[in-house]
Structure 1
Amino acid sequence: MTTKPTRNAAHREPISETEALRVDLEQTRQHLANTVQQLSQQLNVPHRLKETAGQAGHRAAEVAGQAGDRMKDVPAKVKQMPAMSRQHPKATAVVGGAVAVGVGAAAWMVKRHR
């Protein structure tokens, strides 16, 4: 492999082929060191688990805050239910029937497993 001699910026003199190979070797070593560092970061499982757990904790707190905000609207919606049931009596009957069937099935399963 022959490299074209280049000029040294500090001294403005041509670099020998041996010196060019040394420079190339040093750049390759630096690139390899960076690659090894990146791989070791990716393989550092305990550190990655801590990062992931921290991110999950932040997401859980955010979702809990959003759920709390939504729960503030529940009392107002519960107060609207009688008016909604008068507007949609068939839907109210279907939902009431489904709830009754669900409660009956749950009671039957509990009694059966005793």
Structure 2
Amino acid sequence: MKHREDLTETEALRLELEQTRQHLSETVQALTHQLNVPKRLKESATEAGLRMKDSAGMAGLRVKDTATQVPAMTKQHPKATAAVGGAVLLGAGAAAWLATRHK
């Protein structure tokens, strides 16, 4: 390809015209995309769904990891496990007592 200085005036004008056409084409495509609201909404919804799916998958992995660690923690900290279990039973008992008391 010739350097810009080596081009004739006609060739330089043709090159500039082609660059202008390319720029105009890209601008029209960008405007078309911006004005196509239903398509943009669908794209946004799809992206949001994928992000939610990824987040749910990560949360599921954390729950699974925690569930597999509980038996080991129970053996390592039996007194703490008993205290937590007692607190849960006490809370459930208190809730049941309050529910029957207000009838």
In the superposition, the TM-score normalised over structure 2's length comes to 0.56
Mapped pair 1:100 → 2:90 = yes
Partner of 1:35: 30
CA distance in 2, matches of 1:110, 1:37: 65
Cα RMSD over matched residues?
4.2
Higher relative helix content: 2
Distance 1:101 1:54, change over 3 A: closer
CA distance in 1, matches of 2:26, 2:58: 40
Equivalences for 1:39-50 in 2 at 5 Å?
A: 39=34, 44-50=40-46
Larger Rg: 1
CA distance in 2, matches of 1:41, 1:73: 50
Give CA-to-partner distance per residue, 1:20-77, whole Å, 9 cap, x none: 8855752442242242254257762123212221231122122202210221110122
Matched residue count? 98
Note the residue ranges of structure 2 that are not aligned, 5 or more in a row: none
Higher RCO (C-alpha 8 Å, min separation 6)? 1
Give CA-to-partner distance per residue, 1:88-107, whole Å, 9 cap, x none: xxxx87x9568635641454
CA distance in 1, matches of 2:65, 2:36: 39
Q: Which runs of 4+ in 1 moved over 4 A?
A: 18-25, 40-43, 95-99
Note the residue ranges of structure 1 that are not aligned, 5 or more in a row: 1-6, 86-91
